[in-house]
Amino acid sequence: MTSAICIDGFNLVRPQGTGIATYSRNLLYTARSLGLETSAMFGPALSTDALRGFETVALLDPERPASRLRLKQRIERDLSTWFSPMGRTLRPIQVSDDVIWPGGDAARPPVDQCWVARDLFQRAHRAFKLHGRGTPVTFDSRHSAAPAVAHWTTLMPVHARNAPNIYTIHDLIPLRLPHTTLNNKPLFLDMCREVARRADHIAVVSEATRQDVIRMLGVPEDRVTNTYQAVSLPPALVNRSQVEVETELEAAFGLEWGSYFMHFGAVEPKKNLGRVVEAYLASGVSTPLVVVGGPGWMSDPEMALLKQAQRLHGAACRIHQYEYMSYAMLISLIRGAKGILFPSLYEGFGLPVLEAMSLGAPVLTSDQGSLPEVAGDAALQVDPYDVGAVSKGIRKLDADPDWRAEASRRGRIQATKFSQAAYQDRLRDLYARVGVSA
């Protein structure tokens, strides 16, 4: 019988997507390429009982604004929270091909089976706050075989009773850089310790995070495996001709190929946009800067200097900001950039750097966290806290075409270290550690 893995679908159903959703889909695709069956578990707020044959609808029903609960609903919520640590049962549902996922067919997760328990994740998180204990789940295997392993794609106060548990820890940023997040830090630490205690094995996405987990959570080295990540860019976008992309850049943004710098990612403190803008303005370069990213948490201080520059210079401002960009246009902008500016304060992995190098864009990045691992000798590494160093790096990117050409060549080579084939080997080793052969 083919072994099966089951991941949590907590991030898979979010309309805007997340980095963890990208990680989850790539994990599923790679597991399938290894010959493993794949499944995902969901915790929809909507009951599937009245949707026989179309239970998938419950998974994708949008969250509604919080409203005041009636007395009966509050009692039901509080009772379910209180008893959650006693256990929940995941049951298999029929997956309808007629139901369209956010993002279309390309966003449909590659799973052979879906499992559901109503409001699983919300109840489990509330129960963990109340009791300090995780929620165990059992796969109802009367009609479908239970998976061989439960792989949780992020920290979760949930664990499987009848399968080994692997948890992926992407980073410990709330503990390492507490000033950059709004997490409840004591709760985050409690969840880290719960996962460290419960996990049969822990996966991480960089050696930097692996050392953080070993040192800060006291997890033995042999219980933590670094799988890194792989970049998976749609061939239809990567293989578009340069002429076609040039036409799009000119028509959509009034930009020429190789005529602008670019910074992309949600605007939050660790992405360091405030210092990027300060360094860019101080550099004196005339090359425009394109910023792509919507406001995240604590974004106002990061945006302050950018907004001030836009008010001061109006239409003549050399910095152009876009809160939203389609994935196809984002790929085109990366391909056509003179350089990517990504001196983040800390990353668990740093997928934007890998994406940029894969597309041949020269990169300026940080010497902190996992970024030196991902960038290797292909990018210009600077101290992200040193505005002068970032500014000097921008001037080098702007003035040295030979360096840019060499960085583009080295970047494509460096990116092959994180290929799908390399990720397959690392994932195969990870599952072998809990007795699943692929």
- pLDDT tens readout for residues 327-371: 899 999 999 999 999 999 999 999 999 999 999 999 999 999 999
Q: Report helix, strand or coil for 262.
A: strand
Token readout for 165 is 């548990």
| Range from 10-19, 222-231, 239-248, 280-289 carrying the lowest mean pLDDT | 10-19
pLDDT in tens, 359-418: 999 999 999 999 999 999 999 999 999 999 999 999 999 999 999 999 999 999 999 999
Altogether, the residues listed in the chain come to a count of 438
Structure confidence at residue 416 (pLDDT): 94
pLDDT at 133 over 70: yes
Q: Quickly state the pLDDT bin for 67 (edges 50, 70, 90).
A: low
pLDDT number for residue 64: 62
| Mean predicted confidence (pLDDT) in 294-298 | 85
- CA neighbor of 362 nearest in space, from 378, 339, 382, 343: 339
Residues of the chain above pLDDT 90, percent: 71
pLDDT tier for residue 45 given thresholds of 50, 70 and 90: confident
DSSP symbol at 316: G
Residue type at 57? V
Q: Report residue 422 as tokens.
A: 């390399």
* pLDDT at residue 2, as a whole number: 62
**Domains in the chain with CATH codes:** 4-230+420-432 (3.40.50), 235-418 (3.40.50.2000)
Contacts of residue 125, Cβ cutoff 8 Å, sequence gap at least 6? 157
pLDDT at 23 exceeding the cut of 60: yes
Read off the pLDDT of residues 223-268 as tens digits, 9 standing for 90 and up: 999 999 998 788 999 999 999 999 999 999 999 999 999 999 989 9
Mapping DSSP to helix (H, G, I), strand (E, B) and coil, where does residue 65 land?
coil
Q: Cα(100)–Cα(113) distance, rounded to whole angstroms?
A: 17
- Average confidence (pLDDT) over 132-153: 92
Band (pLDDT 50/70/90 cuts) for residue 103 is confident
Residue 350 phi/psi, 5-degree rounding, is 105, 55
- Which pLDDT band holds residue 102 (cuts at 50, 70, 90)? confident
- Answer yes or no: is pLDDT of 1 > 50: no
**What confidence score (pLDDT) does residue 71 get?**
76
Ramachandran quadrant class, 63 (left: phi over 0; alpha: psi -120 to 50; beta: rest): beta
pLDDT of res. 294: 86
pLDDT reported for residue 432: 95
- Give the integer Cα–Cα distance in Å for 28 and 191: 25
pLDDT at residue 17 tops 60: no
- Alpha helices (runs of H) in 146-222, residue ranges in sequence order: 173-176, 185-198, 207-217
CA–CA dist 227, 181 (Å, integer): 25
CB-based contact 350:372 (threshold 8 Å): no
> Hey, what amino acid is at 286?
S
d(CA 181, CA 296): 10
155-214 pLDDT, tens digit each? 999 999 989 999 999 999 999 999 999 999 999 999 999 999 999 999 999 999 999 999
Q: Name the band, by pLDDT with cuts 50, 70 and 90, for residue 112.
A: confident
d(CA 224, CA 214): 8
Residue with the larger pLDDT of the pair 63 and 99? 99
Tell whether the model's pLDDT for residue 13 goes beyond 90. Answer: no
Give the C-alpha separation, 231 to 353, whole Å: 10
Note the Cα 234 to chain centre separation in Å: 17
Q: Answer yes or no: are the C-beta atoms of 114 and 56 closer than 8 Å.
A: yes
Report the mean per-residue pLDDT for the chain.
92
